[in-house]
Structure 1
């Protein structure tokens, strides 16, 4: 027997409505190599948590927050958890910016500090407002605005674009 919370659409309707947004954000945050895995992991987590939701309000933001957190998990897994003094240094590559449209822009985005990179990606690729970005990054809307503003200023400087 399937129990649905009042107001929630069937999960398949949620997937149909938002799969492109989840896939696009996952690829933007994790890159073309890990993007599909991040999107899949996000849908799995959303499916597991869906029966416990009590409101259908902001389902898109809820999904994109899960996607951003899954991408964060992938980035954290790439980093060594503790320094190894006797181990040789190993370079860990992020997304290949050359494979994306406008590679100079994406290279500059990849070089931003992590929180700025996530904030600007959630804002412009995920199309979240500052409340949604703040929820995804566990911060305030004011801090979200600042992160996006700082990221834009850095990108303008790096790319030589006048505001």
Structure 2
């Protein structure tokens, strides 16, 4: 292109900024605008003569604005104080603490097999390799552990 890039920014900058504001809002529009012109600066020398520069920049602006939205959607959102989780009896999480204590009281092999299979998502064959036993023995230990926990919590922990 024969036009200096600085002139392209001066001429099309306001249009690009309007596009960015429309897509990402006023707070992040300048970031998207800057990213647009950084990308355009790199690609400008290869732009064919007679190309519609404004349309080209608007396309880049749209893509950069979408990128800014994606980044924003992955960032944590600050909140006020989180509410306490309570149970029906007024003791927050009591049954969960009781359940973890019951799991801790299981025999070691049962505790490991329950934890690796039901909490870790491993197959019984994978649990057997980790624990150093057969798949059948791992399956039985996990089953026995769950049966023991069900005896401790026949209502499934709903209290």
TM-score range, shorter chain: 0.3 to 0.5
The higher radius of gyration belongs to 2
Tell me the TM-score normalised to structure 2 length. Answer: 0.45
Higher RCO (CA-CA < 8 Å; seq separation 6+): 1
